[in-house]
Amino acid sequence: MLLPQEIIRTKRNGGSLSKEQIQSFVDGLVTKDFNDAQAGSMAMAIFQKGMETREIIDFTMAMKNSGDVLSWPELEGPIVDKHSTGGVGDKVSFMLAAIVAACGAYVPMIAGRGLGHTGGTADKLESIAGFNVQPSIGEFKRIVKDLGMAIISQTDNLAPADKRLYGIRDITATVESIPLITASILSKKLAAGLDTLVMDVKVGNGAMMSNIDDAKALAQSIVNVANGAGVPTQAIITDMNQVLGATAGNALEMAETVKYLNGTLREPRLHAVVVSLAKAMLVSAKVAENEDKALAKINSVLASGAAAEIFNKMIHALGGPSDFMEDPWRSMQRANCIKDVIALDHGYINGMQTRDIGLAVVGLKGGRTANGQQIDHSVGFDRVLPIGTLVNRGDVLARVHAEDENSANLASQQYQTALVIGEKAAEQTPVIYQTISA
């Protein structure tokens, strides 16, 4: 093995890493010959100096091959997945996987945990009593074959190099690096044996990429590297300048997922993102000939309850209750203290510091400040009002769910501070910005 400090030095000085150096780094992540300090230093060097496309492809493939690589000879239909770069209130994966599976594709989704101020899909699923986010690979494959979908977290043997680096990035302020994001996402996705991939690249003040140029750069990087690695991929850039949907927090987002799939609450912006990604997945997987036919299929499986049924069966198959869709709170913990967040002024909600709201959820212990930390799944915000809403002084802006009254009061103040209230309604940002496919 090459000396870790010499590999770090090469990148720190702005050099291009050889395939051998990248392989040595990835091997060291698995064997721990790169200790935590060295792995953090390497992440920071990559963050500051970047990587060429060739380096990112080598890095992605090395992490992909650091553990198990799945294949699906037993499946007759297309294998497709989606990944989001993360945001606040982003529970899209749940309804999207259920919709696409109900339309006839297979969705073996391997999801991450929370990173920085953003929530994690695996953490949200663990809100449900008994749910096992780390089944055996054999069990995962069986559920995907039987139901058309399963959502799990990384197993110890699936891209283990990325699993270790992911946790280190979370606590070393190196989350937003385009090469690290690209390689992290694609190493997991390529290890899942996909036929095609659709990316949801978030942009805005609640996303890792806060401006459109950075979001385009990340989207292009992912598309270039994935296509270079042999998996047809497109990226859709979507808005994260406000909480997506009406909730932010693990159990609260699972409850909103149930309402969405049952048809009792489909927040318009959330619905627009789900439908846009679902259409792209169905067309790219050749389940639908075009977007119009894809939309007809999506509407059909939502109206018939087929998507809701598949989601409920997946929850049960992975250890959760058999009646999750009927009463999600029977198997999830409610917070001790639930309190209204009150508007201090009259006017339109013209802006939202979405990252600050995500950090408020972390402050409530709904996210991690140290690697491996236990989180409180019950905390967060619900009944979130969207930008553009006219409020009067004393109206309810949202509800905070907290462990105790002091935590609730602090989070309520943070939420109020995160909103911009104005006399006139400001222009809304689009929900969908653009698609990058080559």
Verify that 224 and 205 share a domain, yes or no.
yes
Give the Cβ contact number of residue 57 at 10 Å: 21
Verify that 340 and 321 share a domain, yes or no.
no
**pLDDT (mean) for 108-124:** 83
11 in active site: no
**pLDDT band of 261, cuts 50, 70, 90:** very high
Active-site option among 117, 124, 164, 189: 189
Q: Containing domain of residue 370, as a range?
A: 334-422
Domain CATH for 362 = 3.90.1170.30
For residue 260, pLDDT beyond 80:
yes
Per cent of the chain over pLDDT 90 is 87
For residue 215, pLDDT beyond 90:
yes
Query: Residue 405 burial by CB count (10 A; 0-12/13-18/19+): exposed, middle or buried?
Result: exposed
- State the pLDDT at residue 114: 72
**pLDDT band of 371, cuts 50, 70, 90:** low
Verify that 397 and 256 share a domain, yes or no.
no
Q: Is residue 135 part of a domain?
A: yes
Verify that 157 and 296 share a domain, yes or no.
yes
Domain total for the chain? 3
Q: Is residue 66 part of a domain?
A: no
**pLDDT band of 193, cuts 50, 70, 90:** very high
Residues making up the chain, counted from first to last: 438
Q: Is residue 376 part of a domain?
A: yes
Active-site option among 83, 124, 365, 377: 83
Work out the mean pLDDT of the chain and round it to a whole number: 95
**pLDDT band of 85, cuts 50, 70, 90:** confident
Copy the structure tokens of residue 348.
């339109």
Q: Is residue 60 part of a domain?
A: no
Verify that 223 and 300 share a domain, yes or no.
yes
Verify that 259 and 391 share a domain, yes or no.
no
Verify that 323 and 341 share a domain, yes or no.
no
Q: Is residue 430 part of a domain?
A: no
Active-site option among 64, 188, 297, 365: 188
184 in active site: yes
Least confident residue range of 148-157, 215-224, 285-294: 148-157
Least confident residue range of 132-136, 167-171, 320-324: 167-171
For residue 429, pLDDT beyond 80:
yes
Per cent of the chain over pLDDT 70 is 99
Closest CA to 51 of 64, 38, 42: 42
Q: Is residue 55 part of a domain?
A: no
Q: Is residue 412 part of a domain?
A: yes
139-173, pLDDT tens digit by residue? 999 999 999 999 999 777 889 999 899 889 978 99
Verify that 109 and 223 share a domain, yes or no.
yes
Q: Are 248 and 380 in contact (CB under 8 A)?
A: yes
Q: Are 152 and 159 in contact (CB under 8 A)?
A: no
- State the pLDDT at residue 167: 85
**pLDDT (mean) for 234-252:** 97
Domain CATH for 175 = 3.40.1030.10
**pLDDT (mean) for 262-279:** 98
Active-site option among 172, 177, 184, 412: 184
Active-site option among 121, 182, 331, 378: 121
Verify that 274 and 187 share a domain, yes or no.
yes
188 in active site: yes
35-75, pLDDT tens digit by residue? 999 999 999 999 999 999 999 999 999 999 999 999 999 99
Residue-by-residue DSSP string for 387-409: TT-EE-TT-EEEEEEESSHHHHH
Active-site option among 58, 81, 123, 356: 81
**pLDDT band of 368, cuts 50, 70, 90:** confident
424 in active site: no
For residue 115, pLDDT beyond 70:
no
For residue 233, pLDDT beyond 70:
yes
Boundary residue ending a domain (328, 346, 381)? 328
For residue 1, pLDDT beyond 70:
no
Closest CA to 202 of 140, 117, 289: 117
169 in active site: yes
Verify that 105 and 246 share a domain, yes or no.
yes
* pTM beyond 0.85: yes
Verify that 245 and 309 share a domain, yes or no.
yes
313 in active site: no
For residue 397, pLDDT beyond 70:
yes
- State the pLDDT at residue 208: 86
Active-site option among 82, 91, 113, 216: 82
Closest CA to 16 of 44, 66, 58: 58
Verify that 175 and 275 share a domain, yes or no.
yes
3-state SS assignment for residue 27: helix
Interatomic CA distance for residues 34 and 251, integer angstroms: 36
382 in active site: no
Q: Is residue 56 part of a domain?
A: no
